Each structure stands twice: as C-alpha cells, then as structure tokens.
Chain A
Amino acid sequence: MAKRTALYDNHVAHGGKIVEFAGYELPVQYEAGVITEHMTVRKKVGLFDVSHMGEVVVSGKNAEEALNRIVTNDIRGMYDGQVRYSLLPNERGGAVDDILIYRVNGECFLIVVNASNADKDAAWISSHLPKDVKFENISDKVSQLALQGPLAETVLKKVLAEEFIPKKYYSFTKEAKVNGMKCLVSRTGYTGESGFELYCGNADAPKLFELLLKEGKEESILPCGLGARDTLRLEAAMPLYGHELGEDIPVNEVGLGFAIKMGKEDFIGKKALEAHTPEYVRVGAKVVDRGIAREHTDVYCGSELAGVVTSGTHAPLLGYPIAMLRIKKEFIDKPLEADVRGRRLKLQIVDLPFYKKS
C-alpha cells in the first residue's frame, strides 16, 4: 500500500487531487490546476510537499573521502553549509540516481535522493562505504517542503530570522527555528525559480505547511502539486531520474558535465566513462506542429530512428509544447519529427534551458 506523507490530511483539506507517485499518495494538483500553479511559482510563490524525497546521513572521519569515491562530482573543498549536485554512478557509468550533497561539516554529509530510488540508493550507498563510515537512513523521520518563486524570500522572511536565511544559491542553514520548529533551510529547488527547501521533523510539518500558506496570503501563495513540479522542472530543463537519467544511460551523455569530475582520483564508474565515447546527447526541442510529444515517443529523421523523447509537456509559461530528447549525436542538425500516435510532429532543436529566470 502507498505511504502517506505527514501532510496527507492537509492536501485533502486544500482540495488536492491525490495520486500515487513513487510509492506515496500525493497531490498531482489542487483546485487551481497545473497551469495556474505553474504560473504562480513563476510570478509569485508556491508551496510543495516533497516529503517523498529520501534523506540519508553519511558521517565519520573518512566520510568525505569515502563519499567522494561513489559520486561523480568532487566534494572536497566545500564549506560547511554548502550544497552540491552530483550523479551517483554505477560501475558501467550509468546513474543509480542523481543527488544533492549537503556538507554539514567535514565529517558529516546529508544526502537527498529521489523518492523512487530511496531504498535502492540506501542499499547502494551503505554497501559502498567502508566499515568505519556511519550510514543512517532518516527518510521516514524527515518532511520536506519546497517554497518556490520570486516572492519565496518575502514569505520566508516573515517566519524566519534573517540570519537563518541562506544567502547563496546552493547553501543552507541548520538549526533554523520557525515558530519554535527546528528546520534545515537550503536555497535550492527544482523549478528554475529562486526559492527554498525546508526540512523538518514529521510532527512539525503540518504546522509549518499551514503557517507558510497563511503568511504567504498577501503574496498570493498557492499550494502546488506534482503536476506543476514536473512542468516547472521541465521548462527549466532539469533532468529527472527515470527520464533523462537511468542505470543504462551513461552519465556523460546527458549534458551534466559540470557535475562529473573526470580529473579526480578513482570513483565508481570512472573507468567505464573513460572508455565510453558519448553516442547520444540530451537536447531540447520545441514542438512546431500541434500536439505534445511525451516521454517514450520515438524521434525520427525521415525514416531513420534518431532517438526518443525523455520528457515532454505543454510549457505553461512559454505557451507551446517542449520536449527533452535523447538522440544520436549525428542527428543534432538534422530535421527531426516525433511519431505521436501515428502522427508526425515537427521538432525544432532549441537551446536548454527552455526558460531561465531573469
């Protein structure tokens, strides 16, 4: 049976339309609908329950070195309170997951993983750490809220002292107190807007959720569901595991070179990646014809199969359908079409991200 987050009753009370996602019952949208929720995050501020995400803690004297051997990014030289994105590679150079690494201190790291991979990641990470490094899966104790949008900081300032508001993108403060509720607050998100993610104990989550909605009234805050979360991340061209990333997709074919440090000493999958000349690329496309090219849709150049759509939707802010494609390199400059239920839709390759905040 699907799990519920600590906010389940709040979702129902706010009119959330509940669906099952990654083993959790979560709202795909509230009454406002996906497009309104999406636009609210782009123009104002939205609040998401992302408690389904997993959290593990890796600690000990050798934690940094041990962790650095199982991730593609280089986590040495981070400061306490910094966040870094990385892939978690397998031996073949594919991705077990993509993760955020929070450096609490030099001997303690919080790792945030995808909900759908939480159990797999916990098993993978714990089995690839030496005995002297401590591993703890705290996913079931922690709730996570995402406050996203240009007015997110205005709302957060009403409930949190200035000193606890992280200043830099990809940094965090711990020990923050919101009405006595202890939170870890990071300036991170999955929407392409400025915003924050707040981690708290399950018992505090409903109060924190309602407080932020109340304090954000003036800013026209809306609770937002998984539907808007997906359209927002897609407009911002952020990859999603199971779509752009997977166990059998070499991580050097997905345009995330900034998070893969081939120069650092040995890490899982490094040899495989060194030996692999990328065959495919991740590109963005605008659908020129009417219709949406969704994931798993084949992409053709004439009669030749060029690749596949990994994510596709109607982009609410842009007002036209967009897609991320995984295509063979040689087709980048060729005319491409998506085969949508027997209809060919013309695609136009465009720069990623589709949307960038000004």
Chain B
Amino acid sequence: MKILFRESHEWAAIEGKTAKIGISDHAQKELGDLVFINLPEVGAEVKAGDVLCDVESVKAVSDLYAPVSGKVIKVNEELESSPELINQDAMGAWICEIEVTDVPADLMDEAAYKDFIKG
C-alpha cells in the first residue's frame, strides 16, 4: 500500500486496483470541528481534481477533491452520523473507496507532503 497526497490535502491509500480516500490531519485541523459530510454516491465516476464531496465544519462548507480517477465503489457510512471521526483520526477515517483508473503524477508521498504544508 502507498499513501499519496494531493495539494488540496486529500490522501489516497492505494492498494492494488483500489484506493481509500480521506483528508489529511493538517486539513482537519484547518477545517475545525466537522459536523456534516455529504458522501459521494456509490457508482459515481470521478476524475482526479473533480469535486468528490463536501464537508461542513461549524464555520464553513468545503469541497473535497478526488486525488485519483476512477469509480466510487464504497463509502464510509459511519461518517454520516459521526463526522467527528475525521477530526479524531484523519488518516484512519476513510471517506470512500475508488476503483482506480488513473493516478496523477503530481501526487506527493508523505515526506513531500509534509514539506509542502510547512511551506
């Protein structure tokens, strides 16, 4: 399994032909307490860089972008009732699983992403 990050702070944990998608710990800190998530639809075809779904914190709504292209095959329904799981463990709280057709070349590994958020 390898974990890659997008500049917009989503991660993709890729294993074989599928990838679990989530947001980084840095992102959850920036967003603050999350109170809603609108999960993507199972079966939806997404292109890397498209809006995948959105999350609501107390203060604002934010779009999340698909880090990879493919088809949504599973969503983490637990997050619907407990979006705070993302705040508690951002790297563990996966949002959906995608059957991957393309992984963009500009995704970063963890070390590169850490440098990126340090600016």
Contact = CB atoms under 8 A, between A and B. Distances in A.
Interface in B56-82: 56, 58-61, 80
B71 to A, nearest CB: 23
Nearest to B37: A290
B113 interface: no
Contacts of A313: 58-59
A82 interface: no
B56 A292 contact: yes
A34 interface: yes
Given A227-B59, A314-B58, A341-B61, A292 B32 contact: no
A292 B61 contact: yes
Contacts of A75: none
Nearest to A290: B36
A29 interface: yes
Contact of A33 (B33, B54, B56, B80): B33
A34 B59 contact: yes
A350 B45 CA distance: 40
B87 to A, nearest CB: 8
A44 interface: no
B8 interface: no
B68 to A, nearest CB: 24
A28 interface: yes
B36 A314 contact: yes
A34 B60 CA distance: 12
Contacts of B53: none
Contacts of A29: 32
Contact of B33 (A34, A290, A291, A294): A34
Nearest to B30: A17
A231 interface: yes
A316 interface: yes
Contact of B58 (A290, A291, A316): A316
Given A227-B59, A316-B58, A341-B61, A292 B33 contact: no
B38 interface: yes
B32 A227 contact: yes
Contacts of B38: 290-291
Interface of B: 32-33, 35-36, 38, 54, 56, 58-61, 80, 87
Given A290-B36, A292-B36, A294-B61, 13 more contacts: A28-B59, A29-B32, A33-B87, A36-B33, A227-B58, A227-B59, A290-B80, A292-B56, A313-B59, A314-B56, A314-B58, A321-B36, A341-B54
Top 3 closest A-B pairs, CB basis? A314-B35, A35-B33, A34-B58
12 contacts: A29-B32, A33-B32, A33-B33, A34-B33, A35-B33, A227-B59, A291-B38, A291-B56, A292-B36, A292-B56, A313-B58, A341-B54
